[in-house]
Amino acid sequence: MIAILRALPMGPTVTLSWRRSAHVIERNVMNYRRNWFYLVSGFFEPLFYLLAVGAGVGRLVGTVQTSGHSVSYAAFVAPGLLASAAMNGAIFDATYNFFFKLKVERTYEAMLATPLSVMDVAIGELGWTLVRGMLYAGGFLAIMAVFGDCHSYDAMLCLPAAMLITLAFAAIGLALTSYMSQWQHLGTVALAVLPLFLFSGTFYGLDAYPGWLQEVVRCSPLYQGVALLRALALGHLSALLLIHVLYLVLLILFGLFVVSRRLARVLTP
Amino acid sequence: MEPLRDEVVHASALTKTFAGTNAVDGIDLSIRRGEVFGFLGPNGAGKTSTMRMIACMSPRSSGDLLVRGLDPTFAGPEIRAGIGLVPQEDALDSEMSVFDNLVIYGRYFGLARREVRARAQVLLEFAQLADRASTKVDHLSGGMRRRLAIARSLISRPELVILDEPTTGLDPQARHLVWDRLFQLRSEGVTLIITTHYMDEAEQLCDRLVVMDRGRIVGEGTPRELIASTVPREVVELRLNPGATPALLVALKDHVERVEQLADRICCYGEDGDAILEAVIATGIHPLSSLVRRATLEDVFLALTGRQLIE
């Protein structure tokens, strides 16, 4: 992965240094020291969903069939909610927060006057989203375990998988945001995220859709994440899961490629 | 042009093109260690584009450029490690405290936390912000923000500090505080590059400067040299009744070396301003107001470009 990142066509001034990228993460940590409340608040949204939908609606639904196994609805929906939470956290950071720093605060202009490069900035922002996503996903997984929604030790693999989902949506979010010039444009993000959340197999299996629609939903990045996490949480491991992993990795690389080129164009014209 | 040993910036035929237009149009520069070098020109003259290329924040379109002896195309991070930049919009972290702004900026340069905290303390004194260390940047005045931006640019102990319009938007008192800090830096041997469209700022601060207009350098030298070589020593500014100008100009033809007609006044240039004013009174045409003064960089700019600096 590192080799691929270094091989990305970045131009001679767009060099990458992991140490320099780490300072971008450090800046965000310092910034949130004063605003820790906002950091913590992001943890509760998926938790409320788990309580309302998993425990509440789950009581009405009882058990559901997935991959030929019968599981409680709470155990079925929890990994979907974890995937959605990973997506939402990443998207919020990569759109609103990133836009604010890019266009309003001009944070990156100040950074680029130092040894930091646009690639350091892009990787650093991804890294910060990852740190934040890890806090949320780790907490959520612990609560899933307490509720008995993790059916095997394989569920521990949900954490790295959730990180992959976070990175994929962060990279795509950064790439899209780098094309936006006003706050109103960010509204379109919510328009894309909500249907992804509702219709990507988070709350029910693909068999609810007619055949052709199932294929469409399969292409959705969140579906890839939901399918991966659900299989890991329920202990249904198979080599086919690597396809989901590959899909998400490609998304990360594509997003990074776009955002590093866009940042170079926008910030260092 | 071969780079000299004590040159901090060396450029020849440096060009920056945006969408087919040359924002910077083949300029030559030689900025020496320890001097205060100014770019004087109106908005859109190409000052900021030049500055961004020197700061390695914008690739050049053509020509040669060496900063600190290195080529920005290949050594951006190394060059920037020795440069402090004060951008026009400050670009401070408004949610963070004054102290944290200095600390995190030092961290971008790879400085150790302990070291950067010690330096930040010293710089707070320098910027006269010691009592504001824990204030959120949001709550600072414009002058304080600018002083913080200057302090921040010094955290890496750069050999070259670039300031883009350092006093634009500041009131006179805040402005003098900034000038005062810049004088102190100069006395410590830091090379300063300043862009400005204020001729008094350029005259006060700069050892040497270039006058830029439409991407080109139209004049170069010390402020004194530029004035002496471009315009006569003194100026008489006259405000006249509408219609009186042509007759007066004819009558004054033999008494002045050059005349500039501006929208609201005319400027008559010559070696002896009082003598010109006497000649004006002798014509019997009474100006609404008159002012005799020494020629400034403003007049240099007018003579070189036919336009005023601030229009």
Chain A residue numbers with beta carbons less than 8 Å from the beta carbon of B146 are: none
Q: How confident is the model at residue A154 (pLDDT cuts 50, 70, 90)?
A: confident
Angle of helix A118-146 relative to helix A241-267, nearest 10 degrees, comes to 140
Closest partner residue to B91 (CB to CB) among A35, A109, A116 is A109
pLDDT value of position B250? 85
Q: Which residues share a beta bridge with B31?
A: B9
Q: How confident is the model at residue A6 (pLDDT cuts 50, 70, 90)?
A: low
Q: How confident is the model at residue A190 (pLDDT cuts 50, 70, 90)?
A: confident
Could you give the CA distance from residue B47 to residue B164 in angstroms, rounded to a whole number?
8
Give the CA radius of gyration of chain A.
19
B72:A13 CB<8 A: yes
**Token pair in block for residue B67:** 């900063």
Q: What angle do CA A86, A91, A93 make, to 5 degrees?
A: 100
Q: Is B162 helix (H, G, I), strand (E, B) or coil?
A: strand
B96:A34 CB<8 A: yes
- Residues B9-54: tens digit of each pLDDT: 999 999 999 988 999 999 999 999 999 999 998 888 999 999 999 9
Q: Is the dihedral of CA A62, A143, A163, A263 positive or negative?
A: positive
Work out whether strand B216-221 and strand B208-213 pair parallel, antiparallel, or are unpaired: antiparallel
Closest partner residue to A268 (CB to CB) among B57, B74, B107 is B57
Could you give the CA distance from residue B147 to residue B118 in angstroms, rounded to a whole number?
18
pLDDT value of position A14? 53
Question: Would the pLDDT of A153 be above 90?
Answer: no
- What's the pTM value of the predicted model, to 2 decimals? 0.87
Phi, psi values for residue B141, rounded to 5°: -75, 170
Distances (CA, A) of A242 to B40, B50, B160: 61, 50, 52
B76:A107 CB<8 A: no
Q: Which residues share a beta bridge with B32?
A: B7
Q: How confident is the model at residue B309 (pLDDT cuts 50, 70, 90)?
A: low
Chain B contact for A152 (CB, 8 A cutoff):
no
Could you give the CA distance from residue B8 to residue B207 in angstroms, rounded to a whole number?
15
Q: Which residues share a beta bridge with B208?
A: B37
Q: Which of A35-39, B67-71, B153-157, B274-278 has the lowest mean pLDDT?
A: A35-39
What one-character-per-residue DSSP string does A161-176 give?
HHHHHHHHHHHHHHHH
Question: Would the pLDDT of B310 be above 80?
Answer: no
Q: Exposure string (b/e) for B115-124, b if CB count within 10 Å is 16 or more?
A: ebeebbeebb
- Residues B177-219: tens digit of each pLDDT: 889 989 999 999 999 999 988 888 898 899 999 999 999 999 9
Q: Is B32 helix (H, G, I), strand (E, B) or coil?
A: strand
Type of residue found at B151? A
pLDDT value of position B137? 95
Measuring CA to CA, which residue among A165, A103, A31, A169 is closest to residue B91? A103
Could you give the CA distance from residue A137 to residue A87 in angstroms, rounded to a whole number?
11
Q: Is A262 helix (H, G, I), strand (E, B) or coil?
A: helix
Closest partner residue to B96 (CB to CB) among A15, A30, A111 is A30
Question: Would the pLDDT of A13 be above 80?
Answer: no
pLDDT value of position A90? 93
Measuring CA to CA, which residue among B281, B283, B298, B156 is closest to residue B227? B298
pLDDT value of position B174? 87
Q: How confident is the model at residue A9 (pLDDT cuts 50, 70, 90)?
A: very low
| Average pLDDT for chain A | 88
Query: Which one of A109, A112, A265 would you mutate to disrupt binding with B, by most B Cβ within 10 Å of its Cβ?
Result: A112
CB-CB neighbours of A40 under 10 Å:
13
Q: How confident is the model at residue A158 (pLDDT cuts 50, 70, 90)?
A: very high
Distance of CA A224 to the CA centre of its chain: 12
DSSP B285: P
Question: By percentage, how much of chain A surpasses pLDDT 70?
Answer: 94
pLDDT value of position B78? 93
Phi, psi values for residue B186, rounded to 5°: -60, -40
Type of residue found at A178? S
Q: How many CA atoms lie within 13 A of B124 on its CB side?
A: 20
What residue ranges define each of the domains in chain B, with the CATH number in brackets? 7-82+158-227 (3.40.50.300), 232-294 (3.30.70.980)
What one-character-per-residue DSSP string does B238-279 give?
EE--TT-HHHHHHHHTTT-SEEEE-SS-EEEEES-HHHHHHH
pLDDT value of position B3? 63
Between residues A10 and B306, the one the model is more confident about: B306
* Residues near A4 by beta carbon (within 8 Å), at least 6 away in sequence: A253
Q: Is B7 helix (H, G, I), strand (E, B) or coil?
A: strand
Q: Contact at 8 Å (CB) between B191 and B161?
A: yes
pLDDT value of position B2? 61
- Residues B124-167: tens digit of each pLDDT: 999 999 999 999 999 999 999 999 999 999 999 999 999 999 99
pLDDT value of position A1? 54
Q: Which helix (H) or strand (E) holds B209?
A: strand B208-213
Measuring CA to CA, which residue among B52, B118, B40 is closest to residue B79? B52
Could you give the CA distance from residue B283 to residue B292 in angstroms, rounded to a whole number?
17
Chain A residue numbers with beta carbons less than 8 Å from the beta carbon of B108 are: 20, 23, 111, 114-116
- Residues A38-53: tens digit of each pLDDT: 778 778 888 899 899 9
pLDDT value of position A10? 46
pLDDT value of position A35? 77
Q: Contact at 8 Å (CB) between A129 and A169?
A: no
**Token pair in block for residue A122:** 């892009």
A110:B73 CB<8 A: no
- Residues A223-245: tens digit of each pLDDT: 999 999 999 999 888 999 999 99
Q: What is the mean pLDDT of residues A171-176?
A: 95
| Helix, strand, coil in percent for chain A, rounding step 5 | 75, 5, 20
Question: Would the pLDDT of B223 be above 50?
Answer: yes
Closest partner residue to B110 (CB to CB) among A12, A106, A115 is A115
Count of A-B CB contacts under 8 Å: 88
Q: What is the mean pLDDT of residues B252-266?
A: 87
Q: Is B196 helix (H, G, I), strand (E, B) or coil?
A: strand
CB-CB neighbours of B290 under 10 Å:
18
